[in-house]
Structure 1
Amino acid sequence: MSSGNEEKLYDINKWMEGFKLSKLLNLDEKESYTINRCKVMIFNHNKFKIQGLDERKGSILDRDDLKKKFNNLNYDVQTHKEKPGDELTKEKLFQTIGEGEIAKNTDEAPSHANPLSNLDAEWEENFQISKQQPLDKDTETYPTENFKVLIFNHKEYSKDLLLVQRNGSENDINDLGKQFNELKYDVQTYTDKPDRLTKDKLFSIIKEVLKNQEKFDALILIIMTHGDIQELAAYDQTYKIKDLLDLFKDEMIDKPKLIILNACRIPKTDISTEIFPELKVENCMVVYAAYPGQPGNRSTKGSRLVRSLRIALRQLVQLREKRLVLDIFTDIMRHVSTKSIPGNRQMPMVAFNLEKNFFIGIDNDDIVQ
């Protein structure tokens, strides 16, 4: 850990030049959290006892301005700063958060656990992708006329890995391929037959596609397999998720990439290990099937995350429309978590650093006004 180089002082007015929030129109039909009260806790660490960490000069201005802005929104704001003899230690920070009103008001938190008598039969019920609201004409959007889609489904594994077959996963890859083809995307699907999906083969295919990246505007990569917090399984060996993401470093820098990792995230070791690798790939969104410590559930009809994605794609085909990727996966995360049964919780999670709006679906000029 290091403090890095001290940033040069800048004119805050110049910093804000050119920054504009995207405009939202007609949001009333979107499903949203009901927030009548909002608690804001701001902790500003200015000085440190840790060797090598310099004083964070100017950070008090951030704290005070944030407090002012949140107060203007009528939010309940608490700021915490260091005082002589009363430093912001880790213990104090954790204790303050634990004693806050957010922790106490658990009765107002939304409930997602919903027991089902027949999960498969009811999986597609009540799932509806949110209606795409018109966007401000000045909203920046990625060009996505030509999509490349790579789908890898691992069903069988070398006996040395001691992994069971992923029965039902063939339904996922068959339907995904069909839906993406309906969207007129360039789709390549790979299974473990006739040739085994080894780690080397998987990485080689991805690298070869990236060599021809000038032929497409956006990439969707879906890998369905066994895994844990840090690793995924190919036919012959496991590999680090970090190594997979490293394939995209300095590749497709200005083009959007959607990477879906449909695998369990139950740790082999203490869950305090790295939850997911730092996302160092530009203009990328990574979807994990589950939160750390949770399984990526699957039945003979397919896995929960991918089945929800299949429904969403089918609806896009039927509507002949497109949707923001973030909106689609918000709907999917809600559906997967709501359909979870007690004791078998699954909540997908997302990491992203997209710079513009990223759409998938069928082009519709009426979306932008």
Structure 2
Amino acid sequence: MTRFAIAGAEIFDGTKRRPLHAVVVDGARILDVVQESVLPGDLPVQRLPGGVLAPGFIDAQANGGGGVLLNDAPTADGVRTICDAHGRFGTTALLPTLITDSPAITAKAVASVKQAIANGTLGCLGLHLEGPFLSPERRGAHDASLIRTMTDADVDEILSLGIETLLITVSPERIAPAIIRRLVDGGAIVSLGHSNATYDQILTAVDAGARGVTHIFNAMSPMTHRAPGVVGGALDSGELWCGLIADGHHVHPAAIGIALRAKRQPGRIFLVTDAMSTVGSGQQTITLNGRTVWRRNGALELEDGTLAGSDLDMMSGVRYLVKQVGVELGEALRMASTYPAEFLKRPELGGIAAGARADLVHIDDDLKAKAIWRAGVRLDA
């Protein structure tokens, strides 16, 4: 096992800042966090030029990156490319996300993720199936012709996939609570999204075991004073965790601030990118289910202006929260690491402490990612 220390940056361990400390890494795990002054003289030290060393970012919704979209390249190599592309922006772990597609493409995506994990692909946590069990009225950029209702056979197939961290987005008004319960009891994490559900339907889904809401505010019934909708249910239920796309296009900064102040806990709001293949690439157009998506002024849009995923990376999301919304840096970092780790039930991630996986990101004073360590392996941005 390779043992070394990382020093020279202020450490944010997921709870507090720890100046003049170092992280001691032993192989893929963190051995300890100690004062620099007590480091053994013979221990190799990777010295950083200031900045902050934080837990690596965790993205529960990444459709693509590095020129690769999972729907278009459902292969183990495609998954690795997506993980490596987001690594340049501080993301040490992610869920490759499949947008609503045909059963054949879905099967290939499942196989590709399982193969990537078997290959030891650094950064691949599991799989997020975003559809096809969604509301046609709130489909967003999803292809309406591929959206369908969930059958018992679908549940059986989902529960037989054998992927440790499996997140599935469903529309609760189109799925019986008993089905949600079956999915949860079988080990899947159920998130509610692309939904026209009522507030009461959201609470019923929570009682059945739903754990999250997919990209809050987007593609869901809004909150009004007589009909709180999905947004109201998401903020009012302490059981629900809420993904948020903080790119300046999907949600107004004032709405983000209001949501952060309103969210009932212990569930929290956490960052996701909903990134497409453009992140980490020079692509200006992509194709989604046969439709052209345009990269325009930091957003991705169909011809009619409908947002189609994002052009966001996690480091930019953290920076937006701090500089445009006024979120304190430590809380923004928790939204990118600690909270998604808790949502995904991955206690070995999201913090810097003895026994945690050595997933780390070095951030400079301009809030840009300079290097990451995934399971103790360094990748410079």
TM-score norm. by structure 2 comes to 0.30
Instruction: Indicate the structure (1 or 2) with the bigger Cα radius of gyration.
Output: 1
TM-score norm. by structure 1 comes to 0.31
Which structure exhibits the higher relative contact order, with contacts defined as CA atoms closer than 8 Å and separated by 6 or more residues?
2
**Whose strand fraction is larger, Structure 1's or Structure 2's?**
2
